[in-house]
Structure 1
Amino acid sequence: MEHMKIGRASLTWLYGGVTHMDGGAMFGVVPKPLWSKKYPVNDRNQIELRTDPILLEVDGKRMLVDAGIGNEKMNEKQKRNFGVWEESSVTQCLDEIGLKPEDIDAVLMTHLHFDHACGLTRWEGETLVPTFPNATIYTSETEWEEMRQPNMRSKNTYWEANWKAVEGQVHTFAESLEVAPGLKMIHTSGHSNGHSILTFEDGHDVFIHMADLMPTHAHQNVLWALAYDDYPVTSVHEKKKWMDYGYQRSAWYVFYHDAIYRALKFDEEGKIIDERKQKKHTYNV
């Protein structure tokens, strides 16, 4: 596991599983000769996307950023289609650092697509129960509404198995929420209508988690939106806003999906000035 400190915040990446999604869908209208120079692609035109929650510890609070893909939440066809080569090891990761799922105070859900939300629940015999029973689950009210009442398109990614058992733990917000001093969740829309990002400021120390507005470092170009985005024009404008914000502050950008980098820092020109790479990880399935 990788760790880093940014001001008062301590970040630890937990192994939440891995998917392999179609590269064309992940880069939308961008031609493959361009995006394939920036991110590895296999012979099935798939790119590796980690689904690794970030354990965020601030002022004595223990929070997770998103929840991973969980365990035994997909059938064999889904695993094949989504390229799931590894399921979640979040509980084992927590155990390695002396914590239990019961020790998590909050889960900060940027959005509730299956590859972020499957880890919210787990099987206990024949029943789905909360994975983090003592945690408050934060998400935007727009996202929570669609999670429970998906439309004909979004029902493929908003699954009842990921919300029914935890609905009593969910706390929603409209536009923004300060979870801890300097740590905010901000509703952006774009990737999904209820999509949110995270920002943290502690003096000159800043990080931004763009979630699926910039799922990997290869999506840094503000015009490179996903075909999966429900509102791609909104994604472009929000990405431009928050990339400018981060560039001006030499912010760290931290990733949930990136298979190469955990975090990157850019200068005002958008050039990389510091990096934290991911260690090699052996799949557990």
Structure 2
Amino acid sequence: METLQIGKTIITWLNGGVTHMDGGAMFGVVPKPLWSKKYALNEKNQIELRTDPLLIQKNGLNILLETGIGSGKLTEKQMRNYGVEEESSVEESLKKLGLTTEDIHYVLMTHMHFDHACGLTKWENGSLTSVFPKAKIMTSSIEWKEMQHPNIRSANTYWKQNWEAVKDQVTTFDSTISILDGLEMHHTGGHSDGHSIVILQDGGETLVHMADLMPTHAHENPLWVLAYDDYPMTSIENKQKWIEFGKQRQAWFTFYHDAVYRGIKWNGKGEIVDKLDRIKHK
């Protein structure tokens, strides 16, 4: 498992599974000859997208950022359509670190699309239960409202089986919330109306987790937004704002979906000055 240290805070990537999604949808109006130079694709025009949660260990707390694709949650048709070749093994990843799911204090949900939220619940004795029973689950109030009452478009990704069993654990915020000193969530909208990003600052260092505003390193251009984005102009506006925020602070930009890098530092010219590669296990 790859790790990154920001000040005294340790970030570890867990194994949350993998999907393969249509490359055209993931890059919106960007022509294939451009995006295919920056990110590999398969014969089905799909790109590999990890769904690997980040474990943030700070001030004696265990904080999970996103939850993975889950295990045993998808039908065979869904597995095929979303190109799921590997399901989550988050519990096993935690065990390697000497932890259990009951040791998680917070779960930070940038948004609650199925590929981020399936790992919140699991089947146990014929019913769905919370995977992290002692955790506070944090998400924006807008996201939580739409999760429970999706519209005709979002019903495809906001699933009852991912929220009903954990509803008593959820705490929401409107604009910004400080989880603890130096760790904040900021509502951005864009990808979804309730989408948020995470900012971590410790020891003079900064980490920016853009979530699905910048799902991979190939989305660094503010104009390269997803066809899945509900509000693309809001995505562009917030990408400009927060990418500049990070670059000014020589921040690490971290990823949940990227199959190549766990994190990257860019300079003002968009050149990579530091990177953390994803270790590819056979």
Q: Same fold (TM over 0.5)?
A: yes
Structure 2 alignment gaps of length 5 or more = none
CA RMSD of aligned residues (A): 0.6
CA contact (8 A) 1:247 1:269 kept: no
C-alpha separation between the residues in 2 aligned to 1:96 and 1:8?
21
Aligned twin of 1:124:
124
Is 2:188 aligned against 1:182?
A: no
Aligned twin of 1:88:
88
Is 2:118 aligned against 1:109?
A: no
How far 1:266 moved relative to its partner? 1.2
1:202-241 paired onto structure 2 within 5 Å: 202-241=202-241
How far 1:203 moved relative to its partner? 4.1
Q: Deviations over 1:6-43 (max 9, x none)?
A: 11210000000000000000000000000000000000
Aligned twin of 2:165:
165
Q: Deviations over 1:147-191 (max 9, x none)?
A: 000000000000000000000000000001000101100000000
CA contact (8 A) 1:250 1:268 kept: no
CA contact (8 A) 2:121 2:162 kept: yes
Q: Which moved more, 1:81-90 or 1:203-212?
A: 203-212
CA contact (8 A) 1:199 1:208 kept: yes
Aligned twin of 2:198:
198
How far 1:227 moved relative to its partner? 0.1
Q: Deviations over 1:91-142 (max 9, x none)?
A: 0000011000000000000000000000000110200000000000000000
SS in 1 for 2:77: helix
How far 1:200 moved relative to its partner? 1.1
1:131-146 paired onto structure 2 within 5 Å: 131-146=131-146
SS in 2 for 1:123: strand
Residues matched between the structures, number: 282
C-alpha separation between the residues in 2 aligned to 1:215 and 1:187?
16
C-alpha separation between the residues in 2 aligned to 1:125 and 1:76?
21
C-alpha separation between the residues in 2 aligned to 1:82 and 1:21?
6
In the superposition, the TM-score normalised over structure 1's length comes to 0.98
Which consecutive aligned stretches of 4+ in structure 1 deviate over 3 angstroms post-superposition? none
SS in 2 for 1:256: coil
Q: For residue 246 of structure 1, what is the amino acid of its counterpart?
A: G
Aligned twin of 1:45:
45
How far 1:268 moved relative to its partner? 2.2
C-alpha separation between the residues in 1 aligned to 2:23 and 2:268?
29
C-alpha separation between the residues in 1 aligned to 2:20 and 2:4?
26
C-alpha separation between the residues in 2 aligned to 1:138 and 1:67?
12
Aligned twin of 2:71:
71
Q: For residue 119 of structure 2, what is the amino acid of its counterpart?
A: G
Structure 1 alignment gaps of length 5 or more = none
SS in 1 for 2:138: strand
C-alpha separation between the residues in 2 aligned to 1:17 and 1:277?
17
How far 1:202 moved relative to its partner? 2.0
C-alpha separation between the residues in 1 aligned to 2:243 and 2:270?
8
How far 1:214 moved relative to its partner? 0.1
C-alpha separation between the residues in 2 aligned to 1:45 and 1:281?
23
